[in-house]
Amino acid sequence: MTLINLTLPIAEGDIKKLKVGDNVSLTGVMVTARDVAHKYIMEHFIKEEPQGKDKELFDLLYKHLHDGIIYHCGPVVKEDNGKYTFLAAGPTTSIREEPYQTDVIKYFGLRGVIGKGGMGDKTLQGLMDHKAVYLHAIGGAAALIGKSVKEVLGVERLDFGMPEAFWIIRVEDFQCVVTMDSHGNSLHKDMIERSKGELDKLLAQ
């Protein structure tokens, strides 16, 4: 298995080289964001000009997300005297972010989204338009993935709750697979179409 090593932030040219099925190892800083975080980005950044504390949060997130990656993850985090440690960092189901993801990719200039289960046609078009990829992390391996999180650099909007906050993390050798690329290919879409084809054959018998 050939492993493609990428360091965050990622250049557009490196993203365009990736194809569905490529195995990737990521090192650098990324940000977690789930349902509440995506909705907040839409309502407080994209739909209106951020002001005050929202502007401060935008500046911080943009620093890490431009040419960077959002991770759909609700981590389990241990806190000890103000120091945070990830105990588990498994991916969450990405399709819930389908209404927001293309806008968020465009707004921040994202190069990638990590999650599980894939995303729909709207996000696939967004990946093509803005040169980004969807990366599938291993579901059920939360503790193992947590070991790739070497440092928690910060957390924002912890009032959302631990799983929904923006966690800024430094990872090493975070391994995942490209399942939607910037050229319009989607392993998830292909699997659905093939499954439907097989079902149609069975029903026709």
Per-residue pLDDT of 134-167, as tens digits, reads 999 987 778 888 899 999 999 999 999 999 999 9
Please say if 130 is a catalytic residue.
no
Total number of domains constituting the chain:
1
Residue-wise pLDDT tens digits, 87-101: 999 999 999 999 999
Global pTM value: 0.91
**CATH code: domain of residue 189:** 3.20.130.10
| Cβ partners under 8 Å of residue 34, min gap 6 | 72, 73, 74, 92, 96, 97, 163, 164
- % of the chain exceeding 70 in pLDDT: 92
Structure tokens belonging to residue 40: 């907040």
Q: Please tell me the distance from the alpha carbon of residue 101 to that of residue 124, in angstroms, as a whole number.
A: 10
Residues of the chain with pLDDT under 70: 1, 190-205
Please give the helix or strand (H or E) that residue 27 lies within, else none: strand 23-32
Residue 109's domain comprises 3-204
Residue 196's pLDDT is what? 54
Beta bridge partners of 134: 113, 180
Residue 146's pLDDT is what? 86
Work out whether strand 83-88 and strand 112-115 pair parallel, antiparallel, or are unpaired: unpaired
**End-to-end C-alpha distance for the chain, whole angstroms:** 39
Structure tokens belonging to residue 168: 């800024």
Phi, psi of 11 (to 5 degrees): -75, 150
Kindly name the residue from 38, 72, 130, 188 that is annotated as catalytic. 38
